[in-house]
Amino acid sequence: MKESHYVYILETEKGTLYCGYTDDVEKRFQEHLSGKGAKYTKAFKPAKIVYKKRFKTKSEAMKEEYRIKHKLKKSQKI
């Protein structure tokens, strides 16, 4: 079975964005909803997945996550 690597962006109920990496987007979203995701999504409840992209390697996905988190403005993420 081929391993999957994803970068995803969640929109919170307050309209903020959260970016993360996972190997299973739906499972990770459920973790965020249940409060077992990240500190940020414990404080700002996620409303929906607004972006996800699959990568061939974990390294590629992690580089993209970093780029989105640290190089893009919110307007660019939207």
Determine the structural domain holding residue 56 and report its residue range.
Answer: 5-77
Number of domains in the chain: 1
Q: CA-CA distance, 10 to 26, in Å (whole number)?
A: 11
DSSP assignment string, 15-73: S-EEEEEES-HHHHHHHHHTT-S-HHHHHS-EEEEEEEEEESSHHHHHHHHHHHHHH--
pLDDT at position 5 is 98
CATH label of the domain that carries residue 31? 3.40.1440.10
pLDDT at 19 over 70: yes
pLDDT digits (tens, 9 = 90+) for 24-73: 999 999 999 999 989 999 999 999 999 999 999 999 999 999 999 999 99
